[in-house]
Chain A
């Protein structure tokens, strides 16, 4: 009898370990469709506004004069300004950096690293003998806003190549998302799946699907445009975990997994949020 229990347990473990990223993504969509039967899942690229008609109306009014507009303009200017060696950001990216955000983050076969768009922007700088920019807000976020803007309407298309290191990075990001952490012991999942659409104080919680489509974001709370990894740090602090450094391996793996889950959804960044 004892043997049988162990055998069953092993089967369950192997079944879960063998779910492919695509199975995960489809299961996640099914999870949200079951929780919100009437919701068009593609609406979830609008975060909490997919769940809250009142807040959505206010938000749409704000979108008439979007608070991220200046960031796009400043980002465009910075993007086009040549480095000291005469090269530009456009030289570092496919298609001159226009309409490419759907491909980020990607797995770099040469180095085995996960490359987010912000990571690639700073790598472009250092490869051209420029100082890297601060990760969270300011010029880097503005450039990312401009690049996101040129990618609007494209569908998220994160690829996990047939390479055990890429799959391991995806799995690490997935484990991070579902693992409780911090003194308050919340996993990302507790708020953004189990409780998506509910109120935490005066704020409605967004759902995990579409969470990666609209960055960078101008948050009223921040009063400026910031990157997705700024939000990771903020979430960590809110559950009283010590945040990792921006673009740490942990956060890049998380962004890889999170972005894959939004595959097939329309890019709509930059965006504004409360």
Chain B
């Protein structure tokens, strides 16, 4: 991404988070260790393997099968909606291409919580 795009994302992000103050509080409660754990699961090819389909900052050889994971708090003001998307994307879109990480037990519930926290922080 170029600088303009990053700035725009940041501005939008700031505007978005200002509108949903409780999320800011919730974010502060998530420890850096927890985010690291979530990131490790997201990047692990045998766990979340998010990079196979999604661009994530810091990821290499990322796919474009799914949308880039940026400005997640604007797209998902409600963390639970993001968690549901990861747990089973077919609930919202039956023709989704995203594997149902929770419904098909690809990740454990605890792992999904960690991944959700990390993705929501992007």
**A binding-site residues for B, Cβ under 8 Å:** 183-186, 190-191, 194-195, 198-202, 205
Contact = CB atoms under 8 A, between A and B. Distances in A.
Nearest to B88: A185
The size bracket of the interface on B is 10 to 19
B106 interface: yes
Interface in B27-63: 51-53, 61-63
B61 A201 contact: yes
Given A200-B52, A200-B53, A185 B64 contact: no
Interface of B is mostly: loop
Contacts of B100: 185
Contact of B106 (A183, A186, A201): A183
B65 interface: yes
B4 interface: no
B106 A194 contact: no
B63 A201 contact: yes
Which of the listed residues B52, B53, B65 has the most CB atoms from chain A within 10 Å of its own CB? B65
Contact of B51 (A184, A201, A205): A201
B63 A190 contact: no
10 contacts: A184-B99, A184-B104, A191-B97, A195-B65, A198-B63, A200-B52, A200-B63, A200-B65, A201-B51, A201-B63
B95 interface: yes
Contacts of B104: 183-185
Contacts of A183: 99, 104-106
